[in-house]
Amino acid sequence: MVLLIHHSVSPQSRKARLIMAEKKMLFVLKEEEPWSLSQEVLNINPAGELPILVFDGKVISGGYAIGEYLEECSPQYKLFPEDTLERAEVRRLMEWFDIKFYNEVYKYIVAEKVIKRFQYRQAPNSKILKAGLNNLNYHMEYIEYLADKNNYLAGKTLTMADLSAAAQLSIVDYLGDIPWNDYKNAKLWYAKIKSRPSFKDILKDTIKGITPSATYSDLDF
């Protein structure tokens, strides 16, 4: 059995779900709130981070390890290209979204609006939010540039890089903060990702106490 301990507000959790869905794997989800992790989860993953993958009884944690592990264990639907240099480009972009976007956008917008609310019962700081929205524009410009060059962010086919980016963006989009109409190519790319069967479950996600933006689950946003 494959179990993913996850939360809808965790981008690495969303990415793992997308990878498994693209690979047509069957898996079960168990939700844990990142702001009040159970002792059981902390024992399994000392980093105190989601998701945690339990794959036939074996525990794998860390977004980097989980992505590579899923590709190695389920190679029939490839999410890395065959060529080593193209694979390096996919991994460069994964790091860009998993780490750089996360540090520059997620931590400013999602952490302010969602995590702070549930963990510390505090309202978001408008200065931090504004900085996050500025950073978001810089990242949207980069996605616009990549999506203009190719069908997918790292080349002609769907790869892990698209799933890393879409996982992050989908949470910010849930909060209604992405100015899609300013970024035509990025929007076309996201519409393509959003329409994939692997994305269906993500579009049904709800974050307790926060209503998704009007177009979150709309394929013609």
Q: Please identify, using beta-carbon distances, which residue of 20 and 202 lies nearer to a copy of itself.
A: 20
What is the 3-state composition of the chain as percent helix, strand, coil, each rounded to the nearest 5? 60, 10, 30
Instruction: Catalogue the long-range contacts made by 148-151 (C-beta closer than 8 Å, 24 or more residues apart).
Output: 148/185, 151/192
Write down the least CB distance from residue 177 to a copy of itself, Å: 22
Q: State CA 165 to chain mean position distance.
A: 6
Residues 62-121 that bind a copy of itself (CB under 8 A): 62-66, 68-69, 72-73, 84-85, 87-89, 91-92, 94-96, 99-100, 103
Spell out, one character per residue from 16 to 55, where the chain touches a copy of itself: x when CB under 8 A holds, - when not. ------------------------------xx--------
Of residues 37, 60, 131, 191, which one binds a copy of itself by CB under 8 A? 60
Residues 146-185 that bind a copy of itself (CB under 8 A): none
User: 57-96: buried (b, 16+ CB within 10 Å) or exposed (e) per residue?
Assistant: eeebbbbeebbbbbbeebeeeebbbeeeebbebbbebbeb
Residues binding a copy of itself (CB under 8 A) = 46-47, 58, 60-66, 68-69, 72-73, 84-85, 87-89, 91-92, 94-96, 99-100, 103, 142
